[in-house]
Amino acid sequence: MTIRTDLPSRQQLRNMLRERRRALSAAAQQQAAEAVCQQLLSTLTKQTRLIAGYLANDGEVILNPTLSACQQRGVAVSLPVLHPFSGKHLLFQHYTPQTPMTHNRFGISEPELNSTQIHLLNHHDMLLMPLVGFDANGNRLGMGGGFYDRTLAHLHHLSKRPLLVGLAHDCQQVDALPVEAWDIPLDCIVTPTQIINL
């Protein structure tokens, strides 16, 4: 067997793509946030009641305008919270501007855990996930922790499942991502200029 050394590894791709998104100016980030907000609002229907979002970190597409716009339209919003004991899994907790927040072990802002405010995965209509990288086939490269892959691993057993939507800047796109068996593919990718339905 020959080992190809000309293709970048997943970790090399992560480093390159994270650098790219961190290099975007504050103005470019603001423009991207507004464009993605418009794109996402156009995909909401009367049936959309609950979506999971995230708070941007490390140059990810800023989602605050989208989350506010959803709440104004009566769509409930949840945010990911690190599972307190089930290693490297996420919970999704109800979020409003009044929700008490804390910082998790990665320094990312998340709601203070409140078990009465947790929304089950299958109660969501849409899950908005930040991408480090993506390709036109709906493959997703994350930060490398596998949190979403673990959390979504049993999704196909659920009778109702949320639409899995990846959010990224256009500069996060690559021709083809190396995929692993555990990677959960996306249903849709939204960038400031594209909506890719898979």
Contacting residues toward ligand ADP, per CB under 6 A: 10, 141-146, 149-150, 153, 180, 182-183
Q: How far apart are CA 165 and CA 125, in angstroms?
A: 10
The count of other CB atoms within 10 Å of the CB of residue 197 is: 12
Exposed / middle / buried, residue 10 (Cβ in 10 Å: 0-12, 13-18, 19+): middle
Q: Which is nearer to Mg ion, 125 or 183 (CB)?
A: 183
**Least distance to Mg ion, CB of residue 46, Å:** 33
* Residue 65 interacting entry, from ligand ADP, Mg ion, none, C-beta within 5 to 8 Å by type: none
* Residue 112 interacting entry, from ligand ADP, Mg ion, none, C-beta within 5 to 8 Å by type: none
**Least distance to Mg ion, CB of residue 186, Å:** 11
Q: How far apart are CA 64 and CA 92, in angstroms?
A: 17
Q: Which is nearer to ligand ADP, 34 or 149 (CB)?
A: 149
* Residue 58 interacting entry, from Mg ion, ligand ADP, none, C-beta within 5 to 8 Å by type: none
Total site size for Mg ion, rule CB under 5 A = 2
For 69, left (φ over 0), alpha (ψ -120 to 50), or beta? Answer: alpha
Spell out, one character per residue from 170 to 189, where the chain touches Mg ion: x when CB under 5 A holds, - when not.
-------------x------
- Count, in order, helices (H) and strands (E) of the chain: 4, 12
Q: Which is nearer to ligand ADP, 68 or 182 (CB)?
A: 182
Q: Which is nearer to ligand ADP, 83 or 150 (CB)?
A: 150
Tokens 């946030």, residue?
33
Q: Which stretch binds Mg ion (CB under 5 A): 9-17, 36-44, 106-114, 147-155?
A: 147-155
- Site for Mg ion contains 135 (CB under 5 A): no
Spell out the alpha helix ranges (H) of the chain: 10-22, 26-43, 64-72, 147-151
Q: How far apart are CA 117 and CA 119, in angstroms?
A: 7
* Residue 19 interacting entry, from ligand ADP, Mg ion, none, C-beta within 5 to 8 Å by type: none
Q: How far apart are CA 113 and CA 3, in angstroms?
A: 46
Residues forming contacts to Mg ion in the complex (CB under 5 A) are 149, 183
